[in-house]
Amino acid sequence: GRAVRVAERHRVESLALYPGHLGGDAGDQLVQAAAEGLVLASWRFEGSGDDARGPRPAVRVASATLVGASGRRWDDPVRIGHAFAEAENLARTLQARPGNVATPSHLAAEALRIADAAALECEILGPTEMEAEGMDALLSVARGSVEEPRLIVLRHHGSEEEAAPLVLVGKGLTFDAGGISLKPARGMEKMKYDMSGGAAVLGAMLAIGRLDLPVNVTGVVPSSENLPSGSATKPGDVISSRAGKSIEVINTDAEGRLILADALHYASEWEPAAIVDCATLTGACVVALGHHRSALLGNDEGLLDELRAAGDRAGEPCWPLPLDAEYRRQLRSDFADLKNVGGRPAGTITAASFLSEFVEDAPWAHLDIAGTAYGKTRKPYLRNGPAGIPCRLLLEWVRARTGV
């Protein structure tokens, strides 16, 4: 990353990298990291047009050459690093687009282009299909907007048809004004970033398809806007969900968990090997962990350990929080099966506890990326603004599952 910054200042068009005499896994990791750093550092947002290929770097660096004394070829780590970084750059581009461009239908169009570029299967559900599926929680969030919601499903068939898939679910709230529980005006322009989890999943699916990883992976992005209007869901409303559980909406600004609830229950029916969701879900996460680590919660310790290790390898670390049954009590409602918020205490944990109600028996983990998905950064390979996190974390986890 620093090398690209220096090259930018001096308008250097090519770089030479010397990985030294490292061999084996250490050498592969170094070369992959170098490839990722070069591509990530070269990203700049150049507009809000429909370019599914992602960003066109404005950096003058056009090529990089590996100079090695070991005599070995670095094709695979370079290929993987380039694919991982391009995936995260795509996520960053989608994040950066303004809310009047990056609508739910826009994300769906991007998903179709990604599917074409990476040989993926793509299915898009609109309001009619959602209603048939009983996805009232998702539909309730979208009622205040003229923009129709979408549920995006991308499938990579990398293994036998009967093999249980890994499922990645990303929150795709393309603009969140809070609904009737309106957010303060200051900083509301950043609520275009509330689709960051969905952007990360779309980027990850692009790389998974292009690398043709030998595993079945399904990406799911529930997408809508959350705006106030005469037709919007109101505090105190009781809505249903695909799981059949009723939900008392205490705060319409706790909408991300509602669209995720239906998406998680939908994914659970595929009998997946594991489900990982990621979402800019709670401000409480920023209070707890700041902007340096994502929060990690779930129902399977082995899965949580895998994700922590993947985050460390990717440079996108996460930190586990408890998910004890006691926190579920904060979601008790007098009028429904549960409330959508549990008060101020342990807000990140109670949000994850809410989501856990809609996951069946599958191993499941939740990444709260509210503090890490965008903002100012000291990392030399990133710029201030959209970070694409946790796209490379997800990719490292999927790749580790394959043994590639």
pLDDT in the model for residue 14: 64
Q: Are the C-beta atoms of residues 369 and 196 closer than 8 Å to each other?
A: yes
- Nearest Cα to Cα of residue 308 among 294, 289, 322: 294
| pLDDT, tens digit, 9 for 90 and up, residues 74-115 | 778 889 999 999 999 999 999 999 999 999 999 999 999 999
Domain ranges of the chain: 2-74, 83-402
Look at residues 159, 175, 161, 157 and name the one whose alpha carbon lies nearest to residue 219: 157
Mean of per-residue pLDDT scores for the chain? 91
The residue with greater pLDDT, 23 or 349, is 349
Rg over CA atoms, the chain: 21
pLDDT of residue 403: 83
Residues 6+ apart with CB under 8 A from 221: 107, 111, 150, 151, 152, 169, 170, 171, 172, 198, 201, 202, 263
Sign of CA dihedral 218, 96, 196, 144: negative
DSSP alpha helices (H): ranges in 2-44?
2-10, 24-41
- Burial class of residue 200 (count of CB atoms within 10 Å of its CB; 0-12, 13-18, 19+): buried
Amino acid 378: pLDDT: 73
Q: What was the pLDDT predicted at 35?
A: 84
The superfamily (CATH) of domain 83-402 is Zn peptidases (3.40.630.10)
Pairwise CA distance, residues 10 & 149, whole Å? 46
Active site residues: 183, 257
Q: Among the listed ranges 60-64, 105-109, 227-231, 334-338, which one has the minimum average pLDDT value?
A: 60-64
Write the pLDDT tens digit of every residue in 276-332.
Answer: 999 999 999 999 999 999 999 999 999 999 999 999 999 999 999 999 999 999 999
Q: pLDDT band for position 42 (50/70/90)?
A: confident
Distances (CA, A) of 21 to 16, 169, 379: 15, 40, 26
